[in-house]
Homo-oligomer: A and B are copies of this chain.
Amino acid sequence: MLEWLKEPELNFPDQITAGFEHGVCVGQIQAKAGLTQSTVSEYLSILQRAGFIESKRVGQWTYYKRNEGAFEALSKLIQSNL
């Protein structure tokens, strides 16, 4: 999922509601993942708590997008401690 969210336009061409400035909504991710709605929702919330993605509620949809800063920080941490 994190890979997918690197290029939302490419990986979620079916998302019609507006643009991708807020990210991708749960339903789109679920469809692509082939897991149940509850599993995907929980997974996304874990990633969010870990700081890797951010969410924005817009109407009845929740959009998730990557928090690139977290990945940069992790990359540096890994580089210096691995």
The residues of B that contact A75 with a CB separation of less than 8 Å are 78-79, 82
**A31 in the interface (beta carbon within 8 A):** no
- The quantity of this chain's copies bound in the complex is 2
Size bracket of the A interface: under 10
The residues of B that contact A3 with a CB separation of less than 8 Å are 81
**A33 in the interface (beta carbon within 8 A):** no
The residues of B that contact A46 with a CB separation of less than 8 Å are none
What are 8 contact pairs spanning A and B, CB under 8 A?
A: A3-B81, A71-B82, A74-B82, A75-B78, A75-B79, A75-B82, A78-B78, A79-B79
Q: Which 4 A-B pairs have the closest CB atoms?
A: A71-B82, A75-B79, A75-B82, A78-B78
